[in-house]
Amino acid sequence: MVKKVLKFGGTSVGTIERIQHVANIIKKEHSEKNKVIAVVSAMSGKTNELLKLSNEIAEDFNKRELDVLLSSGEQVTCALLSGALTRLNIKSKSFMNWQIPILTEGDHSNARIINIHVEKINDYLNNNGVAIVPGFQGISKNGDITTIGRGGSDATAVAIAKIFNAECCEIYTDVDGVFSTDPNKIPVAKKIDKISYDEMLELSSLGAKVMQSSAVQTAMMYDIPLEVKSTFTERKGTKIFSQENIDYTKSVTGVAYSKDDAKITVKEVEDKPGVAANMFEPLSKAQVNVDMVIQNISSDQKTTDITFTVKRDDISKTKQILKESTSINYKEIISNEKVAKVSIVGAGMVSTPGVTYKMFRGLSDENINILAISTSEIKLSVIIDEENTLKAVKKLHTIFDLD
């Protein structure tokens, strides 16, 4: 008998038939005498639908009420799944965030789980019941409902696996596992059998939404092995665990992309010590995260152009802050939101020379201009024009032998 956390994403519970199918997966685990905690997302599209409703009232809809609204999608799935299990003669009960409770800290729509009370659910599991828990939410110390960021049901599942000391945490989704790139966009993508936390963390932070990055981070911190697998096929999934157990035959494990960034160039800034610090200090105080930075000497040698990237959502705020800043002089600010970040990730990059050159050559062969670059030990990201995204991903996937 083992304690298992099974997480089912939006598509997996997207229709009544699919919820019934999920109930059968749980029934099988239960009949093998496993103690099951199922974490569920809202039915696919539901969270976006609710978000849209709030926007119809006001674009800056009250944050507290937005969390009350968005968390309701998961409540619906919990009840339907529990009802479907009861119909299969399995003892089952839904536990809402405030009933457990799942305690969170931090701002509305971006809270973090800090603790989960285990007693009620453990009692229920010990009495042969299946516990159904809503992903993506909790309550604050004031008792307000909070949500923990889009895709947050993954993070709920990992937190539950840790706090309940579960033997495994299985992430059921609509693809067979983690692929070398998004299989729905690049059909030649290959399933990865096993991948390290570090690589998965890079891939998910750089756009592979198959796992939410903060969930991977928590799993890595507490060494909780994860398995990503399909709700709809019986194929083996992808195991995510610590690096020592993995043999690297390839320099690059996967290619990811995202369209969340925007590029800003501040032209003709005075070229003297302290200018970059003066520029970025007010941004950091305003919680604007600057990612890539490039500085060019301009033709007159006295001024410089500074280019950097921020999240697209932060672009107006960033421009406003720069315009209001009295500590920098510049000629103009140019921004470009039609850019994409394309990244290659691989722990094998550390020991393979020439990866950078190969990436740049591949993109130049496709006539793709690189607008900014950033690197770490196991990843290399470039900013390019958004229209070239898939062409770039395909090319990199091919030249690094991933097809």
Note whether 71 and 97 are within 8 A (CB): yes
Q: Which of 151, 152, 237, 346 touches ligand ADP (CB under 6 A)?
A: 151
46-57 and 63-87 are packed helices; what angle lies between their axes, rounded to 10 degrees? 150
Measured CA to CA, the distance from residue 179 to residue 132 in angstroms comes to: 29
Contact partner, 120, from Mg ion, ligand ASP, ligand ADP, none, Cβ < 5-8 Å per class: none
Check binding of 158 to ligand ADP (CB under 6 A): no
Closest CA to 10 of 171, 129, 159: 171
Q: Which of 5, 22, 26, 42 touches ligand ASP (CB under 6 A)?
A: 42
Contact partner, 138, from ligand ADP, Mg ion, ligand ASP, none, Cβ < 5-8 Å per class: none
Those residues with Cβ within 8 angstroms of residue 48's Cβ, 6 or more apart along the chain or in another chain: none
Q: Chain-centre distance of CA 385, in angstroms? A: 23
**Please, what is the minimum distance in Å from the beta carbon of residue 43 to ligand ADP?**
10
Residue 384 has which token pair? Answer: 């390019």
Residues paired with residue 265 on neighbouring β-strands, in sequence order: 307, 334
Measured CA to CA, the distance from residue 135 to residue 152 in angstroms comes to: 7
Measured CA to CA, the distance from residue 147 to residue 124 in angstroms comes to: 25
Check binding of 14 to ligand ASP (CB under 6 A): no
Binding-site size, ligand ADP (CB under 6 A): 19
Check binding of 342 to ligand ADP (CB under 6 A): no
Stretch that binds Mg ion, among 4-12, 45-53, 181-189, 285-293 (CB under 5 A): 4-12
Nearer to Mg ion (CB atom), residue 226 or residue 359: 226
Check binding of 181 to ligand ADP (CB under 6 A): yes
Contact partner, 195, from Mg ion, ligand ADP, ligand ASP, none, Cβ < 5-8 Å per class: none
Stretch that binds ligand ADP, among 4-12, 157-165, 315-323, 394-402 (CB under 6 A): 4-12
Binders of Mg ion in range 117-156 (CB under 5 A): 151
Binders of ligand ASP in range 114-173 (CB under 6 A): 135-136, 150-153
Q: Chain-centre distance of CA 210, in angstroms? A: 7
Give the DSSP H or E segment for 137.
strand 137-139
Measured CA to CA, the distance from residue 6 to residue 233 in angstroms comes to: 15
Check binding of 11 to ligand ADP (CB under 6 A): yes
Return residues touching ligand ADP (CB under 6 A): 9-12, 41, 151, 173-175, 178-179, 181-184, 208-210, 254
